[in-house]
């Protein structure tokens, strides 16, 4: 699904010659150059996206966070708040419901 207003956090794994993940990740943020959001909204969304992207580095610095996030994932899966159709995970945290 392409929409010019999408902000994406991308994970590019570092791999060895046998295409086995070495544990390293390159984290990038992308959005369309023609993103139609007005300036303040764009900046707010970019800041939020940067926070989401920083979780990878934060987990490396504070390993206990990974366990807390895994517990949270288990919790929302149990509450049936995740829609993982088409390999896309969509969660509405404000309303705690599935996004269709």
In this predicted model, what pLDDT tens digit does every residue of 13-27 receive, in sequence order? Answer: 999 999 999 999 999
Contacts of 36 (CB under 8 A, 6+ apart): 4, 5
With 50 as the cut, is the pLDDT of residue 100 above it?
A: no
Q: Could you tell me if 48 and 72 lie in one domain? A: no
Q: Could you tell me if 51 and 18 lie in one domain? A: yes
pTM: 0.70
pLDDT of residue 92: 64
With 70 as the cut, is the pLDDT of residue 82 above it?
A: no
Q: Could you tell me if 83 and 51 lie in one domain? A: no
Q: Could you tell me if 70 and 56 lie in one domain? A: no
Q: Could you tell me if 56 and 81 lie in one domain? A: no
Kind and range of the H or E run holding 24: strand 21-31
Q: Could you tell me if 72 and 42 lie in one domain? A: no
Place of tokens 């509450």: 79
Tell me how many domains the chain contains. 2
Least confident of 14-23, 25-34, 52-61, 68-77: 68-77
Q: Could you tell me if 24 and 37 lie in one domain? A: yes
């Amino acid at each position: 699904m392409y929409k010019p207003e999408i902000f994406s956090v991308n994970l590019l794994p570092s791999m060895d010659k046998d295409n086995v993940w070495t544990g390293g990740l390159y984290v990038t943020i992308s959005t369309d150059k023609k993103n139609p959001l007005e300036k303040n909204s764009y900046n707010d969304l970019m800041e939020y996206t940067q926070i989401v992207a920083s979780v990878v580095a934060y987990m490396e610095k504070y390993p206990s966070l990974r366990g807390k996030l895994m517990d949270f994932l288990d919790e929302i899966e149990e509450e049936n708040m995740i829609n993982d159709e088409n390999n896309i995970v969509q969660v509405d945290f404000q309303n705690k419901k599935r996004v269709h």
